[in-house]
Amino acid sequence: MSEHNKQLLLWFDQVNNNDVEMVGGKNASLGEMYTTLSEKGIRVPNGFIITAEGYRRFINEAGLEELIRSTLEDLDTSNIKDLQKAGKKIREAIIKARLSPELEEEIGIAYKNLSSAYQQEATDVAVRSSATAEDLPGASFAGEHDTFLNVVGIDNVLKYVKHAMSSLFNDRAISYRQDKGFDHFDVALSVGVQKMVRSDKGCSGVMFTLDTESGFRDVVQISASYGLGEMVVQGKVNPDEYLVFKPTLNGDFRPVIKKSLGSKEVKMVYNPKGQSPVKEIKTSKAERTSYALSDDEILSLAKWGAEIEKHYSERAGRSSPMDIEWAKDGQSGELFIVQARPETIHAEDKGLEIREFHLNTEENSIAEGIAVGTKIAAGKARVIDSVKDIHSFKEGEVLVTEITDPDWEPIMKIASAIVTEKGGRTSHAAIVSRELGIPAVIGVPNARKVVKTGQVITCDTSSGTVGKIYDGKLEWEEVVHRIDQIPETKTHVSMNIGSPESAFVYSSIPNEGVGLAREEFVIASHIRVHPLALLNYDSQSAALKKMIDEVTLGYEDKRQFFVDKLAEGVGQIAAAFYPKQVIVRFSDFKTNEYATLIGGKEYEPEEENPMIGWRGASRYAHPDFAEAFKLECEAMKKIREEFGLKNLAVMVPFCRTPEEGQRVLEIMAECGLAKGYDGLKVYVMCELPTNVLRADDFLDIFDGFSIGSNDLAQLTLGLDRDSSIVAGISNENDPSVKKFISQAIKKCQERGKYIGFCGQAPSDYKDFLRFLIQEKIDSVSLIPDTIIPMKFEIHDEEQKQAREEDPQE
């Protein structure tokens, strides 16, 4: 075997290099290459390839070049009807032409050898295509060429090899090459013939070695659904989604930091008695309500993905995130990688700019779905039910349809935004919209009924998580920040984060970690059930059990549901900023807020003033809630010990006395979350006057303070912060509040303890921020939107102080 082949990782790796031993090149055998794969522990299907050399030989010998050139000469690809006519003419000519006897013989020998390896006369194969320009950085279009599954018999193999070759002239492929400036004859197609993985009896999906929305590089994102993989690729199902954290993947950790159960309503399977080799059928209830992959399988795929990324990056001489298709054989239970190509949307991003989009008004959305991209766009909606009607679409309109496939590409590239009823983050519509740089809202129920043709709508995907559609054209602003123009500061500037989904996006903003990660968003949005209702599930009414079951699909153990979902939500935030410190505050719901969770009213008392009632440390240490608090402790332990995210620190809110704080620490230790163990830091919120007045006692048992200005101002000034009547009397800038803050900072500095500020005030008031810098606070945690402008304020104040301290500078 040549040195080149010894270095080959994937059989599709050098598909267009003539020195690789493949059908149409020098040799029909690829058997030697699997030695390399097995050494790396990566399993791929056996097969052979008709190279680009073989394709070109076929086109020349069949006399097709002149026909193709004359048909494409002066073609205006913006004229949809002319494009469709030209593409059809070329494809039909290629399919009608015959392969040379020599090439047919080579393919026949290779197919016979492949079938014999499985002790079959005619084995089932997949016929896949790959073009020389398809997956170059900056030039990749999802599904631009065709794949055919469950192809059996040499006659069918020869037939679909030509069909695959003809797909080089699919309408969207012709249009795409012209847009990218590729000469049609500088691009050739190779065809891979792989032994089918029986994922029709198992599952399959797509894997990216980064987060597809934000471009965050430290995760592997996996989508999975039952049956053959075309359903995920085409976006016809809402698949399960998993996230795995790469930096701790190869140790003793199991960093599956997110698992989302998809509906997986249909699957593609073999169709032995039909005209088509495959068909779509409905999935069973058991399939819809269970995860397609086990944690062990998720981790195995993620490790393969990281290894493949490493290989391609070494070959390219730069970081090369990957777009990978995988399949699980339902008969053998084995996982396979069936295709891999460089991800091209984020690969070229140098990260020098941050673009932020913000709506200027607050309106109620008319529909919501999955956000693809982080932009905002508006335009007239065009509802199209069938690809045959795409000629009616006009540039700048918003495409609204059930689902897209590559045939929709000619109009997608001129759309201002895309809305589909079906699909997930790895669907065709999602991938294409990312490449085009336009926002898309995917998986919107009844979008074609909610939105009408001609209606002006605004599509907002700025959150990167939930995509929202609004009636009318709303006003928004776009802000561009240059990373290399943001000043460095001595004061650590961290951020306040609530939503796990936004963490990857915000992690690109210059920061020193997270000063406040709130559990409340995860509990309210992802868990939604009161922890005591989960712990006492067996004693609940039938009606309440039904509500809980709907939320906890895939979980028999309701206790574990709470632990897992809280760990995943907070874990994503810790992963986004790893290895920088991320301080998570234990839940700080008030009784009225806890009561809004499913089953919550049964466990929450009615209080006249919940703001100063049963909350924070007093709740955790109380016999009526301690078991629920232990679930939070277990989740934090899982993040640190199972995910390997040792950068996670915890914080206790609303702690009235050191004695109360000590009891909380004891409960944490009982759960294996002891302060100091394996570097765990435990802070306390400084938000009560007693925290300042008894600072030494609190600092004896905690690792430091994080000041919360909202409650500190409320309790210092005697103001109900929910009352608009007294709100105007004073705020955090009051001298009495600042005096407490100054005392807290000085006491922590004397004791050598951490002192940070995570309240809202420095995000709202520049003068308050400057006051904190004057007091030489260690760290200020701001809301993400204010970090960049406030960094300039901090830098300016630090420079001013330096001049005052040393006038000679």
List residues with catalytic annotation: 428, 758
Which residues in 319-474 belong to E strands, given as ranges? 322-328, 335-342, 353-359, 367-372, 376-383, 398-401, 417-420, 440-442, 456-460, 466-471
What distance in Å separates the CA atoms of residue 503 and residue 225, rounded to the nearest whole number? 26
Cα–Cα distances (Å) from 184 to 118, 189, 288, in that order, read: 39, 11, 44
Q: Residue 92: enclosing H or E segment and its boundaries?
A: helix 80-96
**Residues counted in the chain:** 809
Surface-to-core class of residue 242, CB atoms within 10 Å of its CB (0-12 exposed, 13-18 middle, 19+ buried): buried
Q: Please count the other Cβ atoms lying within 10 Å of the Cβ belonging to residue 725.
A: 8
Q: Please count the other Cβ atoms lying within 10 Å of the Cβ belonging to residue 536.
A: 15
Cα–Cα distances (Å) from 117 to 111, 112, 256, in that order, read: 10, 9, 37
Q: Please count the other Cβ atoms lying within 10 Å of the Cβ belonging to residue 419.
A: 28
- List residues bridging with 378 in a β-sheet: 458
DSSP string, 297-335: HHHHHHHHHHHHHHHHHHHHTS---EEEEEEE-TTT--E
Is residue 769 a contact partner of residue 790, using CB atoms and an 8 Å limit?
A: yes
**Helix or strand or coil: residue 565?**
helix
Query: Exposed e or buried b for every residue in 547-581, given b needs 16+ CB within 10 A?
Result: bbeebbeebeebbebbbbbbbbbbbbbbbbbbeeb
Q: Give me the sign of the Cα torsion angle 18, 23, 24, 25.
A: positive
Residue type at 233? V
89: Cβ contacts below 8 Å, ≥ 6 apart: 67, 71
Is residue 422 a contact partner of residue 238, using CB atoms and an 8 Å limit?
A: yes
Residue type at 307? E
Helix extents (H) in 676-765: 689-693, 695-701, 709-717, 735-751, 761-764
599 Rama sector, left if φ>0, alpha if ψ -120 to 50, beta otherwise: left
Pairing mode, strands 266-270 and 278-282: antiparallel
DSSP string, 610-657: GGGSS-THHHHTSTTTHHHHHHHHHHHHHHHHTS--TTEEEEE-S---
What distance in Å separates the CA atoms of residue 20 and residue 24, rounded to the nearest whole number? 10
What distance in Å separates the CA atoms of residue 350 and residue 733, rounded to the nearest whole number? 41
Cα–Cα distances (Å) from 173 to 52, 55, 72, 410, 753, in that order, read: 17, 16, 12, 9, 62
Give φ, ψ of 269 to 5 degrees.
-135, 175
Q: Residue 410: enclosing H or E segment and its boundaries?
A: helix 409-412
Rg value, the chain, Cα: 30
**Helix or strand or coil: residue 599?**
coil
What distance in Å separates the CA atoms of residue 589 and residue 632, rounded to the nearest whole number? 13
Query: Both tokens of residue 636?
Result: 């934090």
